[in-house]
Structure 1
Amino acid sequence: MRVLIAPDCFGGTLTAPEAAEAIAAGWRGGAPDDELALCPLADGGPGFVDVLHAALGGDLRHRSVAGPLGAPVDAVWLEHDGTAYIECAQACGLTLVPNGERDALAAGTAGVGELIAHAVEAKVHTIVVGLGGSATTDGGAGMFRALGAVPVGEDGEPLPVGGGSLVDATRLVGGVDLGDVTLVAASDVENPLLGKLGAARVFGPQKGADDLAVRRLERSLTRWADLLAGVAGRDIRDVQGAGAAGGLGAALIALGASVESGAGVVRRLTGLDSALADAQLVITGEGSFDFQSLRGKLVTRVAGAAAERGTPCVVLAGQVSVGRRRAAAAGVDHAYSVAEHVGSAEASLADPGGTLSALAKHVSSQWTR
């Protein structure tokens, strides 16, 4: 059987290439005669630059920029054929902040703005910003600040860094000028900026926000949306993808960015469709297959593309909380949990690659039959 292995990264434990290799190793152990094709993917979040560099080549540009809490971090962006590919998680990613230090109110996106400025200096004609995996909920205010537009309060003084202070924002001082650069927001989700499916309420808790902080961030982003409307000339709070990366999507949209599915961008540039055409079974996966996976995440994009061709698709994930009916509606024939297979989430995290391989070997024997 010809099997295509096309996973996303596994939530800070395995990169997409590592996950693909782990699945392949297990599958070979259970079905050694199968023909495997590995196509690690990304949806705009962590791994976006690495996956595209592997597929396209190009030049990696290194830059030290402000991290989510201000300390410098080393980030890399990709230049290929006049286009810059930037991964916001490299500058403001959740993995850059230890669990005990996460601060959704104070974390900012200035480093993303610095990467964009660096790309503009390099004379690219297009900048594609991959959105996902951020530690921030500042609506892209830090990015604006780094590009020359500073949010200030009633006294005209710059506000503290982070989303928590935006509730006091009255106006922007300065502006953003990217010249003739075309801007693309490659989003890993379709969430709007505000409301029950917005940046603060859905993603804030995983970034260290308690209920009180979530409510403050919602008020801050509501105020920030008013300022962004002035920049964009329209209200952008309900645009799909505006809530991506803690509202960074909204800031990019206000600057004129078109919104594309990050998974769709990767699908196009990595030649996934050609690989799908040859496959008799597709395997994809991610750290947690949950309700967010159904809102534009990579695994359901892959599953949908497989379903278009009548090719079965299975998901291998660290944890699975999507029911069979909803998974089937997304094109997933079956979803398997590493944690369930080995007995607990703790056991799966103790050896991420080994336990994923063990699950792949178990699944291979079922699908080979």
Structure 2
Amino acid sequence: MRVLVAPDKFAGTLTAVEAAEAIAAGWRRHAPGDELDLAPMSDGGPGFVDVLHATLGGELLVSTVSGPHGEDVPATVLVAGETAYVESAQACGRHLAAEGDPELATTVGVGQLLLAALATGATTVVVGLGGSGTNDGGAGLLHALGATADAGRLDAGPAGFGDLGAVDLAPARERIGQVRLVAASDVDNPLTGLFGATKTYGPQKGIAEERHLEVDGWLERLAAATDRRTSLQKGAGAAGGLGHALLCLGAVREPGIALVAEAVGLAERARAADLVVTGEGAFDFSSRSGKVPYGVAEVAAEALRPCVALAGQVLVGSREMRALGVESAYALVDLVGEQQAFEDPVGSLEALGRRVARTWSRE
């Protein structure tokens, strides 16, 4: 039996690569004769570069960039052929921004990482968006690429926009030149407003609800100083507005999960399999919003292959599960308990993989 193992990360415990290996190890304990094809996945957020490197190979170039509060952080650029891939969370992820004021957090480091990608000579640069701890509309990125403002600051988080004047994007656009820029994200929020970056994602970045109106007003000022029409486009609010900055520089937006699926040849690999296994930390109905399990299940359905999911928690019923294209879903907490799942995520996921193999393998 051929099994395609294509999970996302289990946030806070396992990377997608580690999760795929743990599921496979558990599966082999029950069915050592099955042929397992590991395809760890990402939607553009944390783990994006590692997932692509695991499948595409290529060269990883290490760089040191500025974190959201000015500290030096390591980050990598993946160069595969004529395409360079960068992961914005490596420079401005929530894990880096947790200890500072979110109204001062900046994306300068993402711009520096983009410059490192441009320096490779790649003809296409793909920026994975997701998991950011910033909410500066991508102003820091624009600053790093040479954009200037006649008042206010682009490199001090949204709090720097209070007196923001006109922004000259020409130097940043010149740095991009003829390179094709791709924003990999499934988020379709605009930059500002009721469904914008601040209102929708601000709380998970530590922006207090009573501050939403003022912070959103700062982003409105940025939109007026750069390109208001672009700020209203779908995806402009991705990663705290990094989508807006990239769109201002001429980027095209592509769904992250679809981009990764194409890059790793997921459709062909699903057709060659008898069963597709996916997973993530929490499997709930929001998984339909561009998350990996839903994307993998769609690919499995197109290949006419059943898809099952393994997760830390399963928070949907059987009807909702099937609406997401998943035949069955299995939870770590149901098998080993919440404490054990966090204390030993690898062993717990191996045990769950073995249990699922008992149900689905032909051995």
TM-score (norm 1): 0.89
Alignment of 1:64-75 (within 5 A): 64-75=64-75
SS at match of 2:184: strand
In structure 2, distance between residues paired with 1:157 and 1:164: 9
* In the alignment, structure 1 residue 158 sits paired with structure 2 residue 149: no
In structure 2, distance between residues paired with 1:126 and 1:368: 41
Greater CA deviation, 73-82 or 161-170?
161-170
Say if 1:189 and 1:292, in contact at 8 Å, map to a contact too.
no
Number of paired residues?
359
Find the partner of 2:134 among 133, 136, 141.
136
Find the partner of 1:250 among 240, 244, 253.
244
> Which letter maps to 1:146?
A
Q: Give unpaired runs (5+ residues) of structure 2.
A: none
Give the superposition deviation at 1:95: 2.5
Say if 2:152 and 2:164, in contact at 8 Å, map to a contact too.
no
1:353 is aligned to 346
Say if 1:113 and 1:147, in contact at 8 Å, map to a contact too.
yes
In structure 1, distance between residues paired with 2:187 and 2:126: 16
SS at match of 1:236: helix
Residues 323 and 246 (structure 1), Cα distance of their counterparts in 2 relative to 1, 3 Å cut: farther
Give the superposition deviation at 1:75: 0.8
In structure 2, distance between residues paired with 1:36 and 1:314: 15
TM-score (norm 2): 0.91
In structure 2, distance between residues paired with 1:48 and 1:188: 13
Residues 280 and 228 (structure 1), Cα distance of their counterparts in 2 relative to 1, 3 Å cut: farther
In structure 2, distance between residues paired with 1:3 and 1:217: 48
In structure 2, distance between residues paired with 1:275 and 1:36: 11
* In the alignment, structure 1 residue 116 sits paired with structure 2 residue 114: yes
Find the partner of 2:326 among 332, 335, 340.
332
Residues 276 and 160 (structure 1), Cα distance of their counterparts in 2 relative to 1, 3 Å cut: closer
In structure 2, distance between residues paired with 1:322 and 1:240: 28
Structure 1 stretches (4+) deviating beyond 4 angstroms?
none
Residues 183 and 189 (structure 1), Cα distance of their counterparts in 2 relative to 1, 3 Å cut: same
Residues 321 and 79 (structure 1), Cα distance of their counterparts in 2 relative to 1, 3 Å cut: same
SS at match of 2:235: coil
Give the superposition deviation at 1:167: 5.0
SS at match of 2:202: helix
Cα deviation 1:78-129 (Å, max 9, x = unaligned): 12222211111111112234x5x15322221101101112222333221111
Say if 1:102 and 1:207, in contact at 8 Å, map to a contact too.
no
Greater CA deviation, 190-199 or 327-336?
190-199
Residues 85 and 275 (structure 1), Cα distance of their counterparts in 2 relative to 1, 3 Å cut: same
1:125 is aligned to 123
Amino-acid identity (%):
50
Cα deviation 1:256-308 (Å, max 9, x = unaligned): 10001111111111121221011121111112223442111222111111111
* In the alignment, structure 1 residue 221 sits paired with structure 2 residue 219: yes
Say if 2:108 and 2:144, in contact at 8 Å, map to a contact too.
yes
* In the alignment, structure 1 residue 366 sits paired with structure 2 residue 352: no
> Which letter maps to 2:91?
A
* In the alignment, structure 1 residue 267 sits paired with structure 2 residue 265: no
Residues 192 and 326 (structure 1), Cα distance of their counterparts in 2 relative to 1, 3 Å cut: farther
* RMSD of aligned Cα (Å): 2.2
1:43 is aligned to 43
In structure 1, distance between residues paired with 2:154 and 2:80: 37
Say if 1:103 and 1:207, in contact at 8 Å, map to a contact too.
no
